[in-house]
A and B are shown apart, each in its own frame.
Chain A
Amino acid sequence: MDRNAIISGSFWLCTAIAVLFASLRLGLGPYNNPGPGFLAFWSGLLLAGLSGALLWSGVHSKSKTARLIDLWQDRKGSIPLTAASTLVLYGLVLPKLGYLAATCGLMVILFSVGKIKLPMAIPGALLASLFTFVLFDWFLKMPLPRGIFGF
């Protein structure tokens, strides 16, 4: 049994069912005037069939990489998770704190995740934030969010 195939197959099957319901609500329309849900319905149906085939193969597989944890063997799976969480947090604080402060914080965390010591990470983060602010906001006229500090 390949649990990874079963997990991903189940996810896609649930997605396919949700898409099928959504497409029925949108309306399939007649063949001579297909409605907004027409293609979504058929692609959802195909997705359901393919995910069913994946589930079937997962159940009948004798694969050795059968556990979810095997995917992260000898790897630091927590680092991408930390980076992603930091990015989500960054997205939340960016409009409030403004580009410079929020980006500086983001870069300090990202550099620290890469085991760069704080005395190096802080000036590095400051430099990266300032450089990108000058490049994008001043030179390329991309209005970066200002926040409560005004920069």
Chain B
Amino acid sequence: MDIFINNFNGLINGFSVVFQPDQLLFIFIGCFLGTLVGVLPGIGPVGAISILLPITFQMSPTGAIVMLAGVYYGVMYGGSTASILVNVPGEAASVVTCLDGYQMARQGRAGPALGIAAIGSFLAGTVGLIGLQLIATPLANVALEFGPPEYFAIILVGFTFIIYLTRGSLIKAGIMACAGLILSQVGLDPITSEQRMTFGILNLFEGIGVAPLAMGLFGVAEVFTNLETLHNGEQIRVKIRTLIPSRWDWVRARWAMLRGTLVGFFMGILPGGGPVLSTFIAYGLEKRIAQNPERLGKGAIEGVASPEAANNAAASTSFIPLMTLGIPPNVVLAVLFGAFLIHGITPGPLMLKENPDMFWGIICSMYVGNVMLLVLNLPMIPLWVQVLKIPGRILYPLILLFCVIGAYGINNSVFDVYVMIVFGMAGYLFRKFGYEGAPLILAFVLGPLFEVNLRRSLLMSGGSFAIFFTHPIALGAIIIAAALVLLSVYQMYRKRYANRNQIF
């Protein structure tokens, strides 16, 4: 009962923070920009949040995080628009929506597809938020009991999940995670304050900034890749008569929406999961349980409702591990974690006690943001259609310019621009050679936490690794990590025998 009373009080507190004119404006700006980024193919939520980060320096910490969170879930809404109308996913979590969404548009049913995507996103996002609000407080209280061994083991599970859930080569994902871990150690040692791998460069004493690194690896690299195949934007000739799905559409979509919500809910919490993966799992589930699976891919409304619900539910619940354990479960939240730190807030179990206004403010801002997105987005679809007509040769140079300004604005230093360019080129080459950026950035963000907790654990135990096996939570986490590694190796070998020459 106490939990519900605390939750109720927290919500009252959160809404009193959010219903200030400036906070409402920040939520609106975040949702609007997020939808815009979601609509535009090329720059995803990671790049967008990284670019916008320096702009938030003038804002209050709550305003800044509320706006950046708005960008994150706004992208999930916007991504479906481009997928349905032009078969070009605005960002990775909308790839699956293309399959049935675009087919619906070709059949003259773009309106119901957009409508069900928006309504499904709203309902799933709200369910995810209720879960976030109910789970976050008890989990944060449990996490207060965690010591360095528990944190080390949980982060280890995060690393193994990242590699286990990778879409490409396991070895390459491992290499990227190692590279991220090594890069995270550049700068002053967190315990002894000795210089490490700084080459005497003053700008590296505080380490490599997460924002220029993310901007380079995701924003600039994406632009470089798109510059290779410059296209002039698709000419859209879609007529939207009504956005309201028919009764028959509702009957077909309601259970799909619910299943998508459940998949997204749990995938959002898992380290390494998140919206992108949840859409693939939700769509796969629909195919598996459908009475006529051949309908999917040919304009079935379930194929739009389920993944769109999944990515929004996952976007909401992915805040649970970040705000309660201080562990970002996916790459977007890793960048957001950096934003929290820049604004002087450390996400984790103490956040609820030390910054309750911000904690509940963020949760409540997402409720408000979800309503804003539903109310504003449907009437704005004609505007997004016009945005989709901007040619790449104009759009990509402008995105590069915003990346440059964003990198410069962090410390008013050209050095950060160089860092961004170096990682932009590196990210471009990584894509060429089949490496994913996500394991690198996640390992980079989790690296300092991983190192400090490992070293503190060893200090506590007098150098004995047994400390990780005598603490029950740490032991449980290490067993999960070991099981994931064994499962990955087993799957790799099974694939190897099934298709001898294509394992790597």
Q: Given the complex of chains A and B, what is the CA–CA distance between A22 and B197 in angstroms?
A: 7
Interface residues on B, range: 35 or more
- Closest residue of chain A to B392 (Cβ to Cβ) is A114
Contacts of B421 in A (CB 8 A): 84, 87-88, 91
A150 close to B (CB within 8 Å): no
Encoded as 1 (CB less than 8 Å from any A CB) or 0, chain B from 161 to 184 comes to 000000000011011001101100
1/0 per residue, CB under 8 A from A, across B376-405: the answer is 000000000000000011101110111011
User: Given A95-B414, A114-B392: A128 and B398 within 8 A (CB)?
Assistant: yes
- A32 and B462 within 8 A (CB): yes
Is B397 a contact of A19 with CB atoms below 8 Å? no
Given the complex, which residues of A lie within 8 Å of B502, measured CB to CB?
63
**What separation, in Å, do the CA atoms of A116 and B450 have in the docked complex?**
48
| B-chain residues with CB within 8 Å of residue A75 when the two chains form the complex | 228-229
B432 interfacial contact with A, CB 8 Å: yes
Interface size class of A (residues with CB under 8 A): 35 or more
Annotate B410-453 by CB proximity to A: 1 below 8 A, 0 otherwise. 00101001100100110010001111000000000001001100
User: B227 contacts which of A30, A62, A80, A107 (Cβ < 8 Å)?
Assistant: A80
**Could you tell me if A47 and B463 are in contact, using CB atoms closer than 8 angstroms?**
no
How far apart are the CA atoms of A66 and B227 in the complex, in Å?
24
- On whether the beta carbons of B401 and A71 are closer than 8 Å, the reply is no
Report which residue of A46, A50, A128 has the largest number of chain B beta carbons within 10 angstroms of its beta carbon: A50
**A36→B394 contact, CB < 8 A:** no
In contact, A39 and B397 (Cβ under 8 angstroms): no
Q: Is B459 close to A, CB under 8 A?
A: yes
Contact among A16, A30, A31, A79 for B230, CB-based, below 8 A:
A79
- B interface list, Cβ under 8 A from A: 54-55, 57-58, 171-172, 174-175, 178-179, 181-182, 185, 189, 191-192, 194, 196-197, 223-225, 227-230, 392-394, 396-398, 400-402, 404-405, 408-409, 412, 414, 417-418, 421, 424-425, 428, 432-435, 447, 450-451, 454-455, 458-459, 461-465, 501-504
The 3 closest A-B pairs by CB, nearest first: A114-B393, A32-B463, A31-B463
B-contacting residues of A (Cβ < 8 Å)? 2, 4-5, 7-8, 12, 15-16, 19, 22, 26, 30-40, 43-44, 46-47, 50-51, 53-54, 57-58, 61-63, 71-72, 75-77, 79-80, 83-84, 87-88, 90-91, 94-95, 103, 106-107, 110-111, 113-116, 124, 128, 132, 136, 140-145
